[in-house]
A = this chain, B = another copy of it.
Amino acid sequence: MLRNDIPVYVQVRDQLWQWIQEQQLDSQARLPAERELASRFNTTRVTVRQALGQLEAEGIIFRSNRRGWYITPQRLIYDPSLDIGFYNTVTEQGFTPSTETLSKRLIEAPSWLADISGMAEGAPIYHILRRRSVDLRCVVVEHNYINPRGCPGLLDQDTDLSIWLLLREQYDLVPGKRNIEIFPQALTGVEAEALGVNSGSAGLYMQRLTLDKSGAFLEYDREYWIHDALKVAVQVNNN
């Protein structure tokens, strides 16, 4: 049954993949225990874990703490150039969103933020830290830094919903020019901890710098996403 020219863990990966399809496992369905798989495929846990790691990298399965391996749900399609809001984006695609505000405070702008935003170092700025989930699975940790000029008392509002909705409806603030950066980056430190994943897990980093219509600094945010949770879709018109 085993072929010599293909690594065992790749063969295990392929058979596991085939088994998953045969069983028609749903989103969030649990896989058998690693030891069970090891004896089933006549190999060791180390090799099984290598195969599981492959499927994890491919976004087919994910791990949850020490509870086991599960089938990855479909990716959320997300357009960072718009302000539909997390809640609407998720519900429109048939998932159930939830948001926890981990902290919200008025801070003094650190030097790196002053450089980015053009504000003075030490200037007052709102900082909001939130964790968001899709179907009870944590998918992103988000830092928002908001220019308090134009939106006094923002922190007294409910920040578990869309901040952009608040800014638009309550304060009449709308985004103008926007600068977006996206790149793959491992989740480490506080972000990994907040998301309940191992430090070093694959992730996607996204940051947005948003100016208002007059070109003044409005908002800056940093988002740390689980690598398999989203698909970024952007529409651009060239002139």
**What residues make up the interface of A, taking CB atoms closer than 8 Å to B?**
10, 53-54, 57-59, 75, 81-82, 174-186, 188, 199-204, 227-228, 230-238
Shortest C-beta distance, A23 to chain B (Å), equals 22
- CB of B238 within 8 A of CB of A180, answer no
| Set of chain B residues within 8 Å of A176, measured between Cβ atoms | 237-238
- State whether A186 and B238 are in contact (beta carbons under 8 Å apart), knowing that A181-B232, A181-B233, A202-B202 are contacts in the complex: no
Determine if B234 and A186 form an interchain contact, defined as CB atoms under 8 angstroms apart.
Answer: no
Copies in the complex: 2
A-B pairs with the 5 shortest C-beta distances? A57-B186, A184-B227, A81-B236, A182-B232, A183-B231
What is the CA–CA distance of A211 and B58 in the complex, to the nearest angstrom?
Answer: 30
Q: How far is the CA of A81 from the CA of B54 in the complex (A)?
A: 32
- Asked whether, in the complex, the Cβ of B238 is within 8 Å of the Cβ of A200, the reply is no
- Of A59, A176, A200, the most chain B CB neighbours within 10 A belong to A200
Separation of A180 and B81 alpha carbons in the complex (Å): 11
Task: Check if B186 sits within 8 Å of A54, measured CB to CB.
Answer: yes
A188 CA to B55 CA, complexed, in Å: 11
Known interface pairs A200-B53, A200-B54, A200-B57; A234-B184 also in contact (CB < 8 Å): no
Q: In the complex the two chains form, is B178's CB within 8 Å of A238's CB?
A: yes
On whether A59 and B233 interact (CB within 8 A), knowing A174-B238, A202-B202, A238-B176, the answer reads: no
Kindly identify which residue among B54, B177, B228, B235 contacts A179, using a CB–CB cutoff of 8 Å.
B235
In the bound complex, what is the Cα–Cα distance between A182 and B233 (angstroms)? Answer: 6
Chain B residue nearest to A10 in the complex (CB): B199
A183 CA to B202 CA, complexed, in Å: 12
